[in-house]
Amino acid sequence: MLVQFGTCRLELVQGDITRQEVDAIVNAANSRLAGGGGVDGAIHRAAGPTLMAETRTQHPDGCPTGSAVAASGGLLRAKFVFHAVGPIWRGGVSGEVELLKSAYRRCLELAVEHSCHSIAFPAISTGVYGYPIDLAAESSLSVAREFLLTKKQPNLVRFVLFDGGAFGAYARVLEAMAD
Ligand code: ADP
């Protein structure tokens, strides 16, 4: 599914983020940037050991929740990996919505700072961190839409949803947004 916002494209695909041919892919990291399971493990495996080595050296203190830091893509097709730290879902009363939005926003800013024309996101926080997929879709797509309409870059923002349920949730929100 593809929607045009001004001169930029926002795209939804179902698949594996490690296989995307884009300038930057986003990792759903933990605040220690210590690696883990889920998409984090898949990205580290695909990028090779240089990703962890560089991340440890450049960001020894980790990254606060709601923010993101950049590293190089190692063996990935992507030039960069942006480690984004989303919130753990605690029922929605602990600032989760704003923290998730700011993690996405920071990644889009990093894309501009690193001259990336294309970026791919997973559904941050919706796995082990338990963020409801419908709410995550609303927050992440509204941040991307607003950023593309105001900053007019990057040219392509792609959301890579791992399963059909997540894809459906994102597609419903994007359809409503594009009306
Ligand atoms: P978090 O701890 O932020 O919740 P997870 O890795 O547990 O991170 O899950 C985040 C999302 O990434 C989930 O929706 C999960 O299905 C998805 N996911 C897992 N592996 C991949 C992958 N290889 N490509 C894209 N998305 C993935």
User: Catalytic pick from 40, 61, 134, 179?
Assistant: 40
pLDDT, one tens digit per residue, over 98-109 is 999 999 999 999
The average confidence (pLDDT) of the chain is: 97
In DSSP notation, 106-120 reads: HHHHHHHHTT-SEEE
Domain of 164 in residue numbering reads as 2-178
| Domains: count for the chain | 1
In DSSP notation, 32-60 reads: T----SHHHHHHHHHH-HHHHHHHHHH-T
pLDDT, one tens digit per residue, over 130-153 is 999 999 999 999 999 999 999 999
Q: What is the pLDDT of residue 159?
A: 98
The arrangement of strands across the sheet holding 156-161 comes to 2-5, 8-14, 156-161, 118-121, 24-29, 80-85, 68-72
* CATH code, domain with 79: 3.40.220.10
Percent of the chain topping pLDDT 90: 97
* Mean pLDDT, range 91-115, rounded to an integer: 98
C-alpha of residue 6 to centroid of ligand 1, in Å: 29
pLDDT at 179 over 80: no
pLDDT at 53 over 80: yes
61 is catalytic: no
CA distance 24 to 171: 22
Whether 68 contacts 84, CB under 8 Å: yes
Ligand 1 near 125 CB (within 6 A): yes
pTM of the model: 0.98
